[in-house]
Amino acid sequence: EAVLGPPRTCSPLDRRPGDPVGVIEGDEATLARAVNLLYLNKDEYIAVLFYASWCPFSQECKPNFEKLAHLFPTIRHFAFEESAIRPSIISRYGIHGFPTLFLLNSTMRVRYHGPRTVKPLAAFYSDVSEASVHQWSQPQGRPCHTR
């Protein structure tokens, strides 16, 4: 509880076999449900990106985060634009700049520090979660987003 806060009683974001892999964009309620997935042991790890649409570093990182969702399909990916989250929530996560990326499980929260390109980000994922990179080719058509 100290790492993630108390479990919420909201419903989980259930993923069914065959659902598209991608980044789920959301608000505070989505963030609470994402953390709830960990408490319910629905997901071993989740990736959370806090970004700002006005920030050039976020603009560089966000497309790579979407690629990571396809490279690591067993890790659920959530993105939160800073204007959709209250400052108190941002402060609770210790966010002082954008973008900020975390890998979380039920017992820990690990913040990424490093280059925002795919290769070092993928190495971070593998080091923290021990997940292996899934072979992925660029999808045709529009990317998968859920609001």
Q: Where are the domains of the chain?
A: 23-137
What's residue 1's pLDDT?
40
CATH assignment, 23-137: 3.40.30.10
| pLDDT recorded at residue 20 | 59
What is the per-residue pLDDT for 16?
Answer: 52
The pairing of beta strand 145-146 with beta strand 109-111: unpaired
Q: Given this model, what pLDDT does residue 15 score?
A: 52
Regions of the chain where pLDDT drops below 50: 1-12, 18, 136-147
Check residue 19 and give its pLDDT: 55
Helices (H), the chain: 28-39, 56-71, 87-92, 118-129
